[in-house]
Structure 1
Amino acid sequence: MPVLAVVALAAAAAPASATPRLGASVDFATFNASLNRAAEGELLADLATPDDPQARKVAEVIQRNRPDVLLVNEFDYVPDGAAADAFRGNYLEVGQNGARPIDYPYAYTAPVNTGVPTGFDRDRDGTVGGGNDAHGFGQFEGQYGMLVLSKYPIDTESVRTFQHFRWQDMPGAVLPDDPETPEPADWYSPEALEVLRLSSKSHWDVPVRVGKRTVHFLTAHPTPPSFDGPEDRNGTRNHDEIRFWADYVTPGKGGYIYDDQGSRGGLRQGERFVIAGDYNADPDDGDSVDSAARQLLDAPTVRDTAPASLGAAVAAHQQGGANAGHRGRPWLDTADFNDEAPGNLRVDYVLPSRGLIPLFSGVFWPVPGSPLARLNDASDHHLVHVTVVVP
């Protein structure tokens, strides 16, 4: 029986004085839209007119799903929200291929770590500079940024960002190890660890006001656990970027955390939240450090509604390759990667807290060959959403 029906029956059977107030039904979503460009300024130029083919497809995906609160990953950061405004005005608020326009009166974006120099040779290629040596991989500052869009008010004064939190300040951090030396966790020098930030983009706690309640929209985009060597510098970082939110929402574990304003501690016990983003880690397959995604999925305050789609299952069967050997259930996949390796994976998540009542969830992956399958190449990721009741 659907959750809402169960709650409604309980309300009907309860005395009037004990009847619960169901509250608002809100759809939270994440979409790695691949709206990143190769050079600074290109995204804003593309969005300045309503004619960019990829942006139109991305907008149509959003219009056909119509989430209330949405995280867009890989949306290049442009100061003053100029790119966000252009995307809303020229694409989302214009109907695409028969889909209805959609209005998001509230938006949040902020600087990220991609392209920000560290001053150290992080990849040990003998030179300092370039994307691999930045705090987060990027050819310019802000590439692969993030954007939050909302139909509900965002409490911008209470947003917490964790862009500058240092990796070494996480207790028990899984730091990469140089396999050529006997010392542990020594890929980075002590001097490099003094400056190296944990988040490859940023971690944001964005409070969204739903009636009289606040839901903390916890957003991030950890680095892919690949494009490195036996030291696994990206895999270990991906693991700890994911662990950050697991500690943040688990009572008693987030005391070490500090935000960019200097405030300390994790989320207060009892607060409602939704964790969202492309976490580049599948709980069963792929290259991530063992159990990286499980840190979130098994956190005691988190619900996993397991969003699924028939399209993902059909795609895995048709594409074969690495998909044939996967342990995970293919209908849970959210990203269409190279068929030979790593295959399609579940890497995009929308995870509500246990204080919220889940109603529906899904992955927008139209079945190959169906009319809307033309939208499957808008990005190599698919929109994931969960509808919850905010009591």
Structure 2
Amino acid sequence: MVTMKKCGERILFYSGKKLIVYNEDNIKTVDLPAPILKIQKQEENNKTKEDVDAIISCLSVSKDHKYIAVSTETKQVVIYNEYFEIIKNFTVPRIASNMCFTSNDSLIVADKTGDVFLYNMKDEILTPVLLLGHLSIVLDVALTDCGKYIITSDRDEKIRVSKFPNSYNIQSFCLGHEEFVLSVIIVQNKLISASGDGTVRFWDYLDGKQLSVINTNDYINEELVKNFKEEMGLQDAEVFALPITDMQCFSRENDIFIGISLFKYNKLLLFSLNPSLRINFCKHIYVGGSFSFYLSKDLLILTSTKILFFKLEGKNYREDAHKNISIDDVHDLRLKSDNNISLLYKKKFDNMEEYIERKRARLKLK
């Protein structure tokens, strides 16, 4: 699935091995350096190895847009400057699941075994500092605007709020989601989280108190949920909603705008939240196929053939059709639904029948 990020006036797309930068009428592909681990193994064994695909696992942009960090499935992290010149190129202990920059441009890397490390970019030799660990894969990581807290979410429905950088001090847990927590975002000093349970929840993260919730089941066809439930039932997973695949937020004055995409759902859901925490449903935007999006004062939707532009007018986003652009040149971007999301669900196992059969066999031997 293609993921979109904004870096100043540029739009970044990444999917598979491709990192693409769009700037006005210019589209270019950024080549990733060869995987370090592959080169090391070649040197150690003194023979040619098969090519290792540098599949991009995640990407992060610093708040000042001066740095872009790209991680790959080969445990490699490449940090570029704003001109896409390589600043750092190093490996991490395990494949990164997500990353974020600190205010002083250090990089926080969460990995697929549940550990979160800090890398100081000012160091000539980058040495990882372990900040904290979860018992399951960390799916997202964010720093609060004040820089005093680091927030992590995992596959086991947990959101942990820890002090930063002394992250062994836990401030709170935000508990309430019933499936993996895919995304956490800080907006207007509120924590907003999105989950595989189909809900977006709003928190007072210092106290771990839930303030409000959006249940996407209330806005989509029940038949879609029923079909997905049956599909996942064949994989021994019990589900009650379409999982959220992406959630993004934009803050303007006192209002917060929220965009939500769902697994195998061809519409983008748009909501707004006012200061009294009242949730307003804005609209469905029908796309008609797989898509990715980026939400800011402008809404950008990437389809298989073009980028659609929407402009925020009052309390709603309206299409700015004359700005829509064709991206036929970018023909290898994969916009197919990310079926790997099903791997994040816990599977139900019934061990009783096997136990009873073994017990019967023992009784027969007696």
Tell me if both proteins adopt one fold, taking TM over 0.5 as the criterion: no
- Of structures 1 and 2, the one with the larger relative CO (CA 8 A, separation 6+) is 1
Between structures 1 and 2, the one with greater helix share: 1
TM bucket (normalised to shorter chain) is 0.3 to 0.5
User: With structure 2 as the length reference, what TM-score do the two structures score?
Assistant: 0.33
Could you say which structure has the larger radius of gyration?
2
Between structures 1 and 2, the one with greater strand share: 2
